[in-house]
Structure 1
Amino acid sequence: MIRMMIVDDEPIERIALHKIMAESSLDIEVVGEASNGREAIEAAARLQPDLITMDIKMPGINGLQAIEKIREANDSIKFIIVTAFDTFEFAQQAIRLGVYDYMLKPSRISVVLETIGKVVNEIKNTQIERQKRSSEKHRLQKMMPMVEADIVEQLLFDYVPSAYLSEMMDLLGFPSVKSGFVVNVQFTHAMAGGGQPAELEELYSKLIQQIHDSSITCWVGKMSGKQVQLIVFMDGELSYRAQAVGLARNLIQALNRRNDYRLFIGVGGQCQDVREMRRSYHEALLASIDSSLPVHYCLYEDVPHADNQVDRSLTIELEKNVLDEVRCGKWESAGEQVAKIIDVFEGVGQRIDMAQQRVFELLVNVTKLLQEMGIDVNKPYFRYQTTSYTQLKAETRYLIHQLVEVREAESDLLQTMKQYIRKYAHEDLSLERIAAIVNRNPFYVSKLFKEHFGMNYIDYLTEYRIEMAKQLMQESDKSLKEITFEVGYHDPNYFSRVFKKLVGHSPTDYRKMLIRPTIKK
């Protein structure tokens, strides 16, 4: 309902207009009246009306002066001037003040209703548009963290970049300085294997809130393997070290020892461009290896670097073999190749923490390969820092076994969905219904179809329905209308258009092509 206020120094005019509004069908509530400009200014501030009818000639502050003052406090209020003086001077001032319309005294009731009715419609349209913008802004705000996390994942883990990566980054908006560094936030429960997923979700929410409250300019990745990565942008007023240490201490003070979780933060080196952050990410992981430090954080530049690094050429062929075996599905052979790489590290005296990091990088590449093949897997985080090569081999076998299980489970998932679609393709088969059958979210199922079949879910369903229709045309005498409904369509004309688009012929022409005349000898 539109809130209206009447301003006029003549009581009879106010009473008459109030009565007209009360008896009209306009969606208006008269929330107040004023007899002069000063009262109008005070009442408008108190009542916050949507529309004010304003007399011009009033003692003291006149109507135009009152409008000017009211608009200074609230420029969304619409004004209709009510005056007995139809002069050019008043019209000029009214236009300058943004007055919507005016009425001359006296006016017929029909004119009053028509004039006010136009303003009411304008106000309602403005309110609808404002609500729409507010709703869109709210949806965008809810979507932004997901976009942010997706960008972090693509930039840091070197997954196949989305074609819309640049657009997504533009959507988030770059800070004035694009240089920055990566922070790896690692949560460890006081008891091995302890903690509940809900507790981690709560910690993740508190982390995001703490970053927001601290006005830190950064992008937050997803919680994965009890770790979260942040891409932190440089604050022009602070040095890299001052900003990194300050951020680490801030987060540790706010989040450490919540729900029996202990926080440790590894900080990678500074990069000059956001697309180079993968290097900083690897450095942040190295800085996270020794989580026993009493300060609960470590900068990569403070990590001691050993001189006995393994020459990359010693393992590059073995690493290539690992990827080739995974591509062919030969997991046992791939595991043997990884074990050989670990043997090389041990043989040259590579530090165990550096060897673990190199194996981790290899497994990340395996994960990337699996995702390129359409298999959705999480990053293979080590559960703890190994202290011997025997432990490293055992933990690596465990991670490879997890990858194998995911691949096999996803293969079963696709098979289940295919069988369900073939069984119920004739029904209203939505993506949400398919996702519920395999207990996955629709976005994940859509992504799975796209990666495995090279098409989205609806295209896959459509192709199967058309194949069913072609088979029915060949094997039965059913009418095209009957076939339309049997394969899951409700409109024969729509079915005909879809059929022709995929087959190249209309259903009628296609059926004629199936009929072959008998050749007499």
Structure 2
Amino acid sequence: MIRMLIVDDEHIERIALQRIIEEGSPDVEVVGQAANGREAIEAAERLQPDLITMDIKMPGINGLQAIEKIRESNPTVKFIVVTAFDTFEFAQQAIKLGVYDYMLKPSRISVVLETIGRVANEILMLQQELVTRSLERERLQKMTPLVEADIVEQLLFDYVQSTPLPGMIDLVGFPTGRDGFVMTLQFSPSSASAEEGQLRHLDDVYMQINELSRGMSNPIWLGKMSGNQVPAIIFLDGEFSYRAQAIGVAKKWIQALDGKHGFRLFIGIGGVRKDVRDMRKSYQEALLASMDQSLLARYCLYENLTQDEIQAIGVRNLEMEKIVLEEIRRGNLDGAGDQIARMIDVFEGSGQGVGLSQQRIFEVLIVVTRMLQDMGMEVCTPYFPYSTTSYMQLKAEARMLIHHLVQVGDVVETDLLQTMKLYIQAHAHEDLSLERIAATVDRNPFYVSKLFKEHFGMNYIDFLTQYRIEMAKQLMQETDKSLKEITFEVGYNDPNYFSRVFKKLVGHSPTDYRKMLIRPTNKKHS
């Protein structure tokens, strides 16, 4: 609906024009009238009309003066001037002020409706264009974090994307200051052992990191969460030094995130690079800076490390090896491969040669093999067929070896899978761990995780989540229980978390989904 203000010093003229509009222009609403220029300025400020019909000859502030004043605060409003003068001088002034059209007094009703209709159509087209632009901006805002994450992957991890890097950078725009550095946000469980259900909170942690990044004064490209780590490229902004800005950003993240959802946060900070193509080196420095996470400050700058400390880190890092073993134990081969790749980045950053790095990775794979054998698994013997010549090649071969250590047989264990499915469905409302499910079929957790992935195309936690959401949908359909009651009945302790999971899988919030349901009125009593 177009909002219209009528300005004329003759009362009868205002009444007549409003009646014409109300009877002949259904898309236009007269929201007010003004009898002179001063009233017009005040009414335009108060009512925010889209269209104003402005009488030119009025006492005090005339129409053209009022138009000039109104335009200062509302530059988008359209004007139709109403005048008894059809002169060249008036036309020049009107064009200069951006008047859209004008009507001579008196005008036939058909001319009035035609003129106002023409302007109203133009306003509607502009409003639609603004809506379209707003939707495009919203889509771009949603897409920007995904593009930035892909950029970070290409710059830091040797990943090759389908879209060339320059094209993606053009899409998100380059920050004004191109000097930047890399931070690695490392999350570790607060307790000695991570609960399986605790891992799902990393999604919430990542969402919070994203929100905090948008509120920072420094432009930030946030990478994807891989395992327990999130890399970020931070660009320098303002007059403060690199060190001051790096510590400032780290402290804000630590204050907001450390200890939340059962995770401790430690941030490693790499050195400044003037070219984004050199950010990989800063990333390696950030990894080196995050090796010793016992510091009370919860962050460390690479420039604070001594050369002896750097070399010692590169020789061996037990903490990273423990993470590899934990990922293997959980059956997360991709996560183990990512952690192996980080170890290789640390070796490269500390100046350790490719040959020695290959030997160190081989030692880790031997430890992994022994652990799997102790779990009762049949594993292939890991070996590198030849000496690698680059860190990139070493990472690719190490990932391949990780995935080939264990091969799940081609024969589907139908009874075993069915038993696990039925057990999950019967106990979905409880806190189910991978170990608990594995115990029901007398298998080790790693094998169960592998089996689920191989034959259901998802891990057990995704299977459990889908089943819980289907249970919730059924309860919404067949009962009048509150959403809070349903949340606890299907196995969730946090209604907000349940709502996010439901919307992610179903596409609608629980409240909206329930509104869409058509349930029989006698269902409750049947």
Structure-2-length-normalised TM-score: 0.62
CA separation in 2, counterparts of 1:337 and 1:199? 37
Letter of the structure 1 residue corresponding to residue 93 of structure 2: Q
Which shows bigger deviation, 209-218 or 133-142?
A: 209-218
Matched, 1:101 2:101: yes
Name 1:193's counterpart in structure 2: 194
Letter of the structure 1 residue corresponding to residue 303 of structure 2: E
Q: 1:86 to 1:279 in 2, by over 3 A?
A: same
1:157-236 alignment, distance < 5 Å? 157-191=157-191, 192-194=193-195, 196-235=198-237
Letter of the structure 1 residue corresponding to residue 236 of structure 2: M
Q: CA deviation at 1:273?
A: 1.0
Name the SS for the 2:261 alignment partner.
Answer: coil
Q: CA deviation at 1:65?
A: 0.5
What value does the CA root-mean-square deviation take over the aligned residues? 3.6
Which shows bigger deviation, 81-90 or 196-205?
A: 196-205
Matched, 1:281 2:283: yes
Name 1:139's counterpart in structure 2: 139
Name 1:24's counterpart in structure 2: 24
Task: Tell me if the contact between 1:270 and 1:280 (Cα under 8 Å) persists in the aligned partners.
Answer: yes
Letter of the structure 2 residue corresponding to residue 97 of structure 1: L
Name the SS for the 2:300 alignment partner.
Answer: strand
CA separation in 2, counterparts of 1:160 and 1:11? 72
Letter of the structure 2 residue corresponding to residue 82 of structure 1: V
For residues 439-477 of structure 1, the C-alpha deviation after alignment (integer angstroms, 9 at most, x for no partner) is x99xxxxxxxxxxxxxxxxxxxxxxxxxxxxxxxxxxxx
CA separation in 1, counterparts of 2:200 and 2:265? 17
Name the SS for the 2:53 alignment partner.
Answer: strand
Task: Tell me if the contact between 1:148 and 1:219 (Cα under 8 Å) persists in the aligned partners.
Answer: yes
Q: 1:172 to 1:402 in 2, by over 3 A?
A: farther
Letter of the structure 1 residue corresponding to residue 89 of structure 2: E
Name 2:382's counterpart in structure 1: 335
Task: Tell me if the contact between 2:37 and 2:66 (Cα under 8 Å) persists in the aligned partners.
Answer: yes
Q: CA deviation at 1:298?
A: 1.2
Task: Tell me if the contact between 1:8 and 1:14 (Cα under 8 Å) persists in the aligned partners.
Answer: yes
Name the SS for the 1:184 alignment partner.
Answer: strand
CA separation in 2, counterparts of 1:224 and 1:317? 22
Structure 2 unmatched runs, 5+: 316-351, 364-377, 404-444, 459-503, 506-526
Q: CA deviation at 1:225?
A: 0.8
Which shows bigger deviation, 148-157 or 169-178?
A: 169-178
CA separation in 2, counterparts of 1:208 and 1:406? 31
Q: 1:230 to 1:365 in 2, by over 3 A?
A: farther
Letter of the structure 2 residue corresponding to residue 3 of structure 1: R
Name the SS for the 2:273 alignment partner.
Answer: coil
1:420-431 alignment, distance < 5 Å? none
Q: CA deviation at 1:6?
A: 0.7
CA separation in 1, counterparts of 2:125 and 2:6? 22
Which shows bigger deviation, 72-81 or 310-319?
A: 310-319
Task: Tell me if the contact between 2:217 and 2:237 (Cα under 8 Å) persists in the aligned partners.
Answer: no
Name 2:240's counterpart in structure 1: 238
CA separation in 2, counterparts of 1:168 and 1:279? 21
Task: Tell me if the contact between 1:268 and 1:287 (Cα under 8 Å) persists in the aligned partners.
Answer: yes
Name 1:112's counterpart in structure 2: 112
For residues 150-190 of structure 1, the C-alpha deviation after alignment (integer angstroms, 9 at most, x for no partner) is 11112111112444221111122112332211100011121
Name 1:265's counterpart in structure 2: 267
Q: How many residues align?
A: 362
Q: CA deviation at 1:93?
A: 0.7
Name the SS for the 1:335 alignment partner.
Answer: coil
1:70-109 alignment, distance < 5 Å? 70-109=70-109
CA separation in 2, counterparts of 1:146 and 1:281? 19
Task: Tell me if the contact between 2:358 and 2:394 (Cα under 8 Å) persists in the aligned partners.
Answer: no
Which shows bigger deviation, 295-304 or 219-228?
A: 295-304
Task: Tell me if the contact between 2:266 and 2:298 (Cα under 8 Å) persists in the aligned partners.
Answer: yes
Task: Tell me if the contact between 2:8 and 2:58 (Cα under 8 Å) persists in the aligned partners.
Answer: yes
Which residue of 353, 356, 368 maps to 1:312? Answer: 353
CA separation in 2, counterparts of 1:46 and 1:230? 46
Task: Tell me if the contact between 1:5 and 1:30 (Cα under 8 Å) persists in the aligned partners.
Answer: yes
CA separation in 1, counterparts of 2:176 and 2:400? 32
Q: CA deviation at 1:336?
A: 3.7
For residues 316-343 of structure 1, the C-alpha deviation after alignment (integer angstroms, 9 at most, x for no partner) is 7869999xxxxxxxx96672449x99xx
Task: Tell me if the contact between 1:178 and 1:234 (Cα under 8 Å) persists in the aligned partners.
Answer: yes
Q: CA deviation at 1:51?
A: 0.6
Q: 1:40 to 1:313 in 2, by over 3 A?
A: closer
Q: CA deviation at 1:269?
A: 2.1
CA separation in 1, counterparts of 2:9 and 2:116? 20
Letter of the structure 1 residue corresponding to residue 169 of structure 2: M
Task: Tell me if the contact between 2:178 and 2:274 (Cα under 8 Å) persists in the aligned partners.
Answer: yes
Task: Tell me if the contact between 1:319 and 1:337 (Cα under 8 Å) persists in the aligned partners.
Answer: no
CA separation in 2, counterparts of 1:333 and 1:71? 78
Name 1:302's counterpart in structure 2: 304
Q: CA deviation at 1:314?
A: 4.2
Q: 1:402 to 1:141 in 2, by over 3 A?
A: farther
CA separation in 1, counterparts of 2:144 and 2:302? 30
Q: CA deviation at 1:213?
A: 2.2
For residues 88-141 of structure 1, the C-alpha deviation after alignment (integer angstroms, 9 at most, x for no partner) is 111111000000111111111111111111001000001011110111111111
CA separation in 2, counterparts of 1:364 and 1:183? 24
Q: CA deviation at 1:302?
A: 2.3
CA separation in 2, counterparts of 1:16 and 1:97? 27
Task: Tell me if the contact between 1:26 and 1:117 (Cα under 8 Å) persists in the aligned partners.
Answer: no
CA separation in 2, counterparts of 1:333 and 1:319? 19
Matched, 1:128 2:175: no
Which residue of 251, 258, 262 maps to 1:256? Answer: 258
1:371-520 alignment, distance < 5 Å? 409=453
CA separation in 2, counterparts of 1:369 and 1:76? 64
Name the SS for the 2:382 alignment partner.
Answer: helix
Structure-1-length-normalised TM-score: 0.63
Structure 1 unmatched runs, 5+: 323-330, 342-357, 372-400, 415-439, 442-521
Letter of the structure 2 residue corresponding to residue 335 of structure 1: P
Letter of the structure 1 residue corresponding to residue 144 of structure 2: M
Task: Tell me if the contact between 1:157 and 1:278 (Cα under 8 Å) persists in the aligned partners.
Answer: yes
Q: 1:313 to 1:151 in 2, by over 3 A?
A: closer
Q: CA deviation at 1:247?
A: 2.0
Letter of the structure 2 residue corresponding to residue 284 of structure 1: A
CA separation in 2, counterparts of 1:299 and 1:402? 37
Name the SS for the 1:98 alignment partner.
Answer: coil
Which shows bigger deviation, 121-130 or 248-257?
A: 248-257
Q: CA deviation at 1:63?
A: 0.5
